[in-house]
Structure 1
Amino acid sequence: MAGPAASENQNFCFKEELDAFKLSLSPTKEVILEHYLAGWSGLVKFLNRLGNVFGFISKDASSKIQILRNFLNGESGSEYFTVQSMVKYELENKLVDLKKAGSHPESGCRTLLRLHRALRWLELFLERLRTSQEDGKTSAMCAESYNESLAQFHPWVVRKAAGLAFCMLPGRLAFFEVMNVGTPDQVVAMLGEALPVVTEVYQITQELYAKHDLLDIP
C-alpha cells in the first residue's frame, strides 16, 4: 500500500498547477488575482517537493500569497479582483508606500511585486530546464537565472546562501520526476506550452508596474 507521501505525489501534477496562470488571463488581458495566486501556490508545492533547497523562496512566497488572499477575502475584496484593479484602488487611496517604508509595509502592490520578481526567476530557470541537455547542470541553470533576476533585490548574505543551496540541487531528471507529468519528452512539451503563458502574465504585470512607477517599491 502506498503511503501518504506517495499518494500526495500522485495527486500533484505540475501541468495542472501551471494551468492556473492560463486561467489568470482575462479576455482583456488583465491578471485575475485569485488564479495568479493559485498558480503561485502550485509553484510553492513544486519547490517544496524538492526538499529544503528552495525554502528561502517558498516560505516567503507562501506568506505573500496569504497576505494577498486576505485582501481578496476582506471587505474591499472586489477591488482586488485583478492586479489592475488592485493597483488602481491602492494608488487612488494612497495605500502604497512609494518612496520609503511607511504605514503600508504589506500593501497589495508591494506584496505582489515580491512574487512578481520571484516569478521571473522561476520562469527563466524552468525555460533553461526545458531547453538543456540531459546532463545539464541544474545548479548552473538555477544560479544563472537567479543572477539575472532575484539576486539584484537580495542582500549579499541571502545571495551567498542561495548560491550554496543551488549547489545541492538534484539532476534535471529528478526535477522532471517531481513534476509528475510523464516522460522527459512529455515534460519538455508541457513546459513549451505552459511557459509562454507564464511569460505573458509576467510581462503584463511588468508593464503595468512600470507605467505606474511601482517597480522599486521599498
Structure 2
Amino acid sequence: MVKMAGSDSVPEEKFSLKEVLITFQSCLTDNQEIVTDSYVNGWRGLVRFMNSLGSIFSFISKDAVNKIQIMVTHRNGENGDKYETLQSMVKYELDNNLVDLQRRAEHPESGCRTLLRLHRALRWLELFLEKLRTSTEDSKTSVMCTDAYNDSLAQHHAWIIRKAATMAFCVLPGRAAFFQTMNVGSTEQVVAMLGEAMPFISKVYEITEELYKQHNLLELP
C-alpha cells in the first residue's frame, strides 16, 4: 500500500490559501465521498495557517496535529484501504465494533472519533474564514473569531479552555495581517479566493456532518 506523503509530521511550510482551496476541492469524489488523504492534507494547510499567527491558536493546532497523525497511522496500517474515504472508514469501523459509542475505553483513537474532532474544528475555521471574507477593513478579528468559536467548538470544550480561548482571541492581529498570511496578494484577491474556497470547505463539512448524523456518531465520547 502507498503511504500518505509527509506522514511523519506536518511540514513547516508557508500557508497557501490556494493550496487549501485545491486540496479541499480534491476531497470530493464524483459520488460525493470524501477522500481521507485529501481531507488530512487540507488540514495540514489549515494547521500552517494557525501556526503562522503565532501561539494564539496552539490549543487547537496542537490537537489537530495529533489527530492528523492518528489518521495517517490508520491509512498506513494493514487495513489502510478501509480508510480510503470517510465513508469507507465509518462502515469498516462500525461493522467491526472499532468505535466506542458509549464511553471512551477500548478504541480511544478510532478513526471515527479522531475525525469527529477535526470535523468540529473545521466548522470553527469555516465560520471564521467566512466572517473574514465578508468583513470590512475595520471589523474586529477578535469578535469574529470568538463568535465563530462560540457557534462551534466552545460547546465541546471545558470552561477553562473556553475562557483561555476567548482571552487569546482578544490579542488577534487585524484583518490585514490575516490576509497577508494567506499569501495570495491584494485584499481583493484574498476575498475572491476565499469566495472560491469556502463552498468546497462547506461542502466537505456538510457531507461529513450528514454521514455522522446518519450513523449517530456526532456525540462520540
- Shorter-chain TM-score tier: over 0.9
Name the residue aligned to 1:150. Answer: 153
Contact kept, 8 Å, 1:32 with 1:82, in 2: the verdict is: yes
Amino acid at match of 2:28: L
Residue 33 in 1 paired to residue 49 in 2? no
1:9 shift after superposition: 9.7
Matches within 5 A, 1:60-75: 60-75=63-78
Residue 181 in 1 paired to residue 184 in 2? yes
Amino acid at match of 2:135: S
Range with bigger deviation, 132-141 or 8-17: 8-17
Residue 210 in 1 paired to residue 210 in 2? no
Amino acid at match of 1:18: L
CA distance in 2, matches of 1:12, 1:154: 27
CA distance in 1, matches of 2:155, 2:218: 13
Name the residue aligned to 2:7. Answer: none
Name the residue aligned to 1:97. Answer: 100
Contact kept, 8 Å, 1:118 with 1:150, in 2: the verdict is: yes
Matches within 5 A, 1:165-176: 165-176=168-179
Q: Which has the higher helix share?
A: 1
2:113 to 110, 113, 122: 110
TM-score (structure 2 length as normaliser): 0.93
Contact kept, 8 Å, 2:12 with 2:48, in 1: the verdict is: no
1:17 shift after superposition: 2.2
CA distance in 1, matches of 2:172, 2:30: 38
Residue 197 in 1 paired to residue 206 in 2? no
CA distance in 1, matches of 2:132, 2:206: 21
1:130 shift after superposition: 0.3
Contact kept, 8 Å, 2:14 with 2:52, in 1: the verdict is: no
1:12 shift after superposition: 3.9
TM-score (structure 1 length as normaliser): 0.95
1:120 shift after superposition: 0.2
For each residue in 1:60-93, what CA deviation from the matched residue of structure 2 results, as whole angstroms up to 9, or x when unmatched? Answer: 0000000000000110000000000000000000
Contact kept, 8 Å, 2:74 with 2:80, in 1: the verdict is: yes
1:32 shift after superposition: 0.2
Give structure 1 stretches of 5+ with no counterpart: 1-7
Identity %: 61
**Distance verdict in 2 for CA 1:11–1:46, change over 3 Å:** closer
Contact kept, 8 Å, 1:9 with 1:180, in 2: the verdict is: no
Residue 16 in 1 paired to residue 29 in 2? no
Contact kept, 8 Å, 1:97 with 1:104, in 2: the verdict is: yes
2:49 to 29, 46, 71: 46
Number of residues of Structure 1 aligned to a counterpart in Structure 2: 211
1:102 shift after superposition: 1.3
CA distance in 2, matches of 1:113, 1:18: 21
1:18 shift after superposition: 2.9
1:142 shift after superposition: 0.2
Amino acid at match of 1:30: E
SS of corresponding position for 1:52:
coil
Amino acid at match of 2:80: G
Name the residue aligned to 1:137. Answer: 140
1:127 to 130, 146, 150: 130
Name the residue aligned to 1:77. Answer: 80
